[in-house]
Structure 1
Amino acid sequence: MPEDLSAAVSAARTSDRTDKRPSEVRGGAQSKRLLLLCVSVPSFMINLDGNIVAVSLPSIGRALHADFAAIEWVISAYTLTFAALVMPAGALADRYGRKRILVVGLAVFTLASFLCGAAPTAVILNAARAMQGVGAALLLSAALALLSKEFQGAERAPAFAFWGSVIGIAITLGPLVGGVLTQTLGWEWAFYVNVPVGIVMIALSVRAVPESRDPDSAKVDVAGAGSFAAALFLLTFALISGNHRGWSDPLVVATLSVSVILFIVFGLVETHQARPMLDLSFFRLPTYVGANLAGLTYAAALLTMLTYIPLYFQGGMNVSPTTAGLMMVPMALPLFIVPRLVARYLTHWMTGRALLALGLTFVSIGLFALSALASAFAPGPMLIAMAIAGIGAGILNGETAKVGLSVIPPARAGMAAGVGGTVRFAGIVLGFAGLGAILFERISAFLDAAPIGPRGRDLSSASTFIASGDLSAAARLPGTSVALAHAGFAAGYQTLFAVAAVIALAGAMSSLWLIEAVAPSRRGTESDEIIPEFE
């Protein structure tokens, strides 16, 4: 049994030992072990799927004849529905039962994974990816709510450390498994691999997970969920469409404007709810705000790189999917190792504020180094820079959720878990679309400034091919050579990495400014002392 899981179970055994027979203690420990697996493996599936798909994107694009915008939607259709629905899914879990929503989410995710693998066109694939996001939102919000509800006091730190390590395993294996599956069996198996895991987890969850709900939960906030989902969809649509239609295009401007209006409507709706989907009063807590900003910047700056860096390797260095997956290991492996080291050596003497700031600083340093190295296409130094960023990600992976939930009453665990998931995946959606816009614009500006280069429609086509990593197709267009395509590709990624580094640095500064410096001995063990106003 992994050490983090062993520690969590040991803590549970100790807390359950008073006035109980040995057989009852053993049964309680086994139940806790199964429960921890049931809430961690769904997160494993979500992260494994995302990282498998990242390595498979070039193959998907070629097989389905998809351009850069369609490739963006393979990621965005999933993360958008995830980000838009994970918060109302948390409210559903609180109201109708966290176990029930977990099982429903697993079923939807598993079915959608099969449909993704069987998709004959990019449109159908993206629709199935959106369905996958619905299932992921349901299962993740329920899983985090169960984790927060069932593991209290001394159990919480090792439980969250195990959860973070499981995510690290998924992120570590994702590029490797994705590369091997794509190169040997085809990109479809990047989705089919979820089907047997999902079936097993449904059966285990039905047996091992206890039901729990918030007794004070109200009806689902349909108006809030609808306005938030529509606002986030329109914002993402505008960011992706702006690359191709132009930022002054009337449709893009109108979409952005309506998105802003809908976000305002969402805020107004939530202030008039007796039991809101998003309890805005929690945002009076600086620690909660700081932890969510850390999660947002971590997702936008680093988690998006798990998609962009494989594209860089396959496009700029012309490596195979398997090789690209292997080259992701220095960034991905720390997400498995570091959370365990943090739980064992750092949480006892470093505050949550210090850990989040430290993790984001490591991410920023690694990304700045990648920016400096982007034009050299030198794999050795880049792998070192990736490892530095990965160490920071390993510190952040479980810590952002733990710090945020530490100031929330257990009865609102579903809502708080939904907010945390929404923030993280909204960061991926907006970061991926925003960085994609920056990548496309930088490549276009570079090609436009070249003394001899593509012009007009050829410029737009060349920029699209280069941004998607298909440099050979770009080089066949009038005015574009292989050397110019590589130079434009490097310039685009140099800017992309630099902007992501600035985002991470801003997150580190906001963590130091907002998060309360709670003593390490209190974190996750005496949360009632931190939130007397909710008692």
Structure 2
Amino acid sequence: MSDSIDHTASRGAAVLAAVCVAAVILPLSFSAGAIATPAIGRALGGGPVALNWITNAFMLAFGSCLMAAGTLADRFGRRRVFLCGVSVFSLMSMLLALAPGIVWVDLLRAAQGVGAAAALAGGSAALAQEFDGHARTRAFSLLGTTFGVGLAFGPVLAGGLIELFGWRAVFVSTALLGAMSLLLAAPGMPETRDPHASGVDWPGMASFTAALGLFTVAILEAPDIGWGHPAVGSLLAVAAGSLVAFVLIERHTARPMLDLSLFRYRRFVGVQLLPIATCYCFVVLLVILPIRFVGIEGYAPLNAGLMMIALSAPMLVMPALAVRLTRHASPGLISSLGLLIAAAGLVWLGGVPVGAEPAALLVPMGVIGIGTGLPWGLMDGLSVSVVPKERAGMATGIFSTTRVAGEGLALAMVSAALAGIVAARLTPVVAALAPLAPGHKLMAAGGGAPRTAIDLAAQRLATGDLSGASTLLPGVSLAMLRQHYADAFHLLTYGLAAITVLAALATLRYLGLGDRQGASVATTAATATTATCDDAR
């Protein structure tokens, strides 16, 4: 009996270690990519759109494929999908280190995102099968902390590798970590499947992936070619049609990829709100802050990475603290308070001018990280409580899709909003200094709405290309461009804070105050399936 218990504990530790190593890679790849983008641009060239796709291609493929990966994990085996995903991710990382041009980088980043989706969906589902009760809560809390490690040290690792060895070393490092995860998982991770899975919902998978993918591409491309461009309208129309088809397919499928009836329950909806909220108060900052530090304020990549620790380091401790706090308050209340703290940090950060001392930036960044860390530590554990254990692949697929797709869409919308605010503030300045001649109007690719030099300069400024913006607007000084960027950033953080406050109120509404005596997340997870019947209204 003792040998059996020891073997089970050893196997569980191996599974947890393998999934956590993979979980370090995914946010590391995301956050490190933002630091590496300027260096890639200098080495391989490419305009703002091509450089944006270094991050966007990864996030688009990642988010679009997660739901399908969760379904495949339930049907064909969580171990198999996890190992395939990590293998693809590692292989694409090595190929990225050898990429000869920016187009290859974008394409390989998309393929890397597919591997990441399989790794996360398969690994999370395997973790849910391996642990029960409070052990499962601790495992998912550690998973959240591991994500925090990747977020905290990804920029630092990327900055150091870029300065020492060049940007290609960033992708070599993720390939090596992927290989480590494979070595840990291959011998010890057991194979598990959904015993009731009778087939794969291929039509549902195809329609959902098409809907999400096409909609995201439309959002990403619209700021560059114009919302009135025929391609944008076509993409949105096909995406809407694919979504309608998905809903119809899922309603008439015996074993659907997504059980739509879950949306009738408050608890299920509330859990999905948490990753959406953290997108706007935290994740978008992982991209736009390094751009500001390196491109606008002139910090070296390593220094920018070190500054980002202030934002991400709280993720190392706050998830575990959040679980402890559930002894005294409900997860809904803790998550809502955390989001309100993050919103206050956003308002504080927005008031810091460009060129201020680093300490003026680091303190509000730390406040944002502390606030975001509270819901971050609870939402992974809560996500597996919304469906029966054998459908863990679907649960993690839904939650992870909401998280990653939300991140991609939030990043696209926030980047477009920042460029739009910059353009609006520059327009009267440029008109007063040197009115644009008609010949300065540029046509968007494919014959879309006319784009002025102001629009293009604003887009370059939003991506940290200060010199490129100055070239397009020679009458505007660098100091003035920095100031208008700072003003736009200030307004943007106010908008992000407002979204975060609304998300905090909605989270409290859907997840509720709960048991004031301190029901733990483990108890919440164990009772959530039956509690949803009482929660439905």
Question: Scaled by the length of structure 2, what TM-score is found?
Answer: 0.91
The answer to whether the Cα contact below 8 Å between 2:335 and 2:504 also exists between their aligned partners in 1 is yes
Separation in structure 2 between the aligned mates of residue 395 and residue 32 of structure 1, nearest angstrom: 26
Separation in structure 2 between the aligned mates of residue 471 and residue 415 of structure 1, nearest angstrom: 44
Could you tell me which residue of structure 1 aligns to residue 527 of structure 2?
529
2:491 to 491, 495, 498: 495
2:396 to 405, 417, 420: 417
2:482 to 466, 482, 486: 486
Separation in structure 2 between the aligned mates of residue 522 and residue 183 of structure 1, nearest angstrom: 45
The answer to whether the Cα contact below 8 Å between 2:297 and 2:355 also exists between their aligned partners in 1 is no
Moved more, 312-321 or 483-492: 483-492
Is 2:402 the counterpart of 1:407? no
Counterpart residue type for residue 419 of structure 1:
I
Counterpart residue type for residue 447 of structure 1:
L
Could you tell me which residue of structure 1 aligns to residue 311 of structure 2?
331
Separation in structure 2 between the aligned mates of residue 101 and residue 528 of structure 1, nearest angstrom: 26
Residues 345-375 of structure 1: per-residue CA shift (max 9 Å, x gap): 3121121111221221122111122222255
SS of aligned partner of 2:328: coil
Q: CA deviation at 1:517?
A: 4.1
Residues 408-429 of structure 1: per-residue CA shift (max 9 Å, x gap): 2101100010011100001111
Distance 1:399 1:528, change over 3 A: closer
Residues 34-67 of structure 1: per-residue CA shift (max 9 Å, x gap): 1211222111111111111111111112222122
1:467 to 462, 472, 491: 462
Q: CA deviation at 1:521?
A: 3.0
Q: CA deviation at 1:287?
A: 0.9
1:438 to 404, 412, 417: 417
Q: CA deviation at 1:526?
A: 6.4
The answer to whether the Cα contact below 8 Å between 1:356 and 1:395 also exists between their aligned partners in 2 is yes
Residue-pair matches, total: 514
Could you tell me which residue of structure 2 aligns to residue 359 of structure 1?
338
RMSD: 1.9
Correspondences of 1:303-382 after superposition (within 5 Å): 303-343=283-323, 345-374=324-353, 377-382=356-361
1:515 to 511, 520, 525: 511
Residues 468-504 of structure 1: per-residue CA shift (max 9 Å, x gap): 2121232233333212221232133223322222222
Separation in structure 2 between the aligned mates of residue 237 and residue 532 of structure 1, nearest angstrom: 39
Distance 1:37 1:395, change over 3 A: same
Counterpart residue type for residue 456 of structure 2:
S
1:170 to 122, 147, 150: 150
Distance 1:533 1:402, change over 3 A: closer
The answer to whether the Cα contact below 8 Å between 1:447 and 1:454 also exists between their aligned partners in 2 is no
Separation in structure 1 between the aligned mates of residue 74 and residue 260 of structure 2, nearest angstrom: 17
Moved more, 55-64 or 26-35: 26-35
Moved more, 24-33 or 108-117: 24-33
Separation in structure 1 between the aligned mates of residue 493 and residue 39 of structure 2, nearest angstrom: 24
SS of aligned partner of 2:374: helix
The answer to whether the Cα contact below 8 Å between 2:384 and 2:525 also exists between their aligned partners in 1 is no
Could you tell me which residue of structure 2 aligns to residue 66 of structure 1?
46
The answer to whether the Cα contact below 8 Å between 2:69 and 2:121 also exists between their aligned partners in 1 is yes
Moved more, 398-407 or 374-383: 374-383
Residues 511-532 of structure 1: per-residue CA shift (max 9 Å, x gap): 1011144434353246453323
2:197 to 189, 197, 217: 217
Q: CA deviation at 1:33?
A: 1.4
Moved more, 266-275 or 82-91: 266-275
Residues 311-340 of structure 1: per-residue CA shift (max 9 Å, x gap): 011122110000100110111100112112
Separation in structure 2 between the aligned mates of residue 388 and residue 533 of structure 1, nearest angstrom: 34
Separation in structure 2 between the aligned mates of residue 333 and residue 533 of structure 1, nearest angstrom: 35
Separation in structure 2 between the aligned mates of residue 66 and residue 358 of structure 1, nearest angstrom: 42
SS of aligned partner of 1:24: helix
Moved more, 248-257 or 268-277: 248-257
Separation in structure 2 between the aligned mates of residue 502 and residue 277 of structure 1, nearest angstrom: 34
Distance 1:342 1:529, change over 3 A: closer
Residues 62-94 of structure 1: per-residue CA shift (max 9 Å, x gap): 222122211221111111111111111001000
Residues 216-246 of structure 1: per-residue CA shift (max 9 Å, x gap): 1132222222222222222222222222222
Could you tell me which residue of structure 2 aligns to residue 13 of structure 1?
none
Q: CA deviation at 1:112?
A: 0.8
Is 2:234 the counterpart of 1:230? no
Is 2:296 the counterpart of 1:301? no
Counterpart residue type for residue 431 of structure 1:
A
Separation in structure 2 between the aligned mates of residue 126 and residue 215 of structure 1, nearest angstrom: 38
Separation in structure 2 between the aligned mates of residue 251 and residue 449 of structure 1, nearest angstrom: 31
Separation in structure 2 between the aligned mates of residue 397 and residue 454 of structure 1, nearest angstrom: 49
Is 2:170 the counterpart of 1:190? yes
Q: CA deviation at 1:533?
A: 8.2
Could you tell me which residue of structure 2 aligns to residue 153 of structure 1?
133
2:83 to 103, 108, 119: 103
The answer to whether the Cα contact below 8 Å between 1:38 and 1:204 also exists between their aligned partners in 2 is yes
The answer to whether the Cα contact below 8 Å between 2:329 and 2:519 also exists between their aligned partners in 1 is no
Q: CA deviation at 1:117?
A: 1.6
Residues 268-320 of structure 1: per-residue CA shift (max 9 Å, x gap): 22111111111112222211111101111212431121111110111221100
Could you tell me which residue of structure 1 aligns to residue 433 of structure 2?
452
Distance 1:258 1:77, change over 3 A: same
Is 2:236 the counterpart of 1:259? no
Counterpart residue type for residue 191 of structure 1:
F
Q: CA deviation at 1:432?
A: 0.6
The answer to whether the Cα contact below 8 Å between 2:281 and 2:372 also exists between their aligned partners in 1 is no
Counterpart residue type for residue 167 of structure 2:
W
Separation in structure 1 between the aligned mates of residue 148 and residue 434 of structure 2, nearest angstrom: 43
Moved more, 126-135 or 298-307: 298-307
Identity across the alignment (%): 33
The answer to whether the Cα contact below 8 Å between 2:320 and 2:377 also exists between their aligned partners in 1 is no
The answer to whether the Cα contact below 8 Å between 1:51 and 1:174 also exists between their aligned partners in 2 is yes
Moved more, 211-220 or 101-110: 211-220
Distance 1:218 1:300, change over 3 A: farther
Could you tell me which residue of structure 2 aligns to residue 16 of structure 1?
none
Could you tell me which residue of structure 2 aligns to residue 8 of structure 1?
none
Gapped regions of structure 2 (runs ≥ 5): 442-451
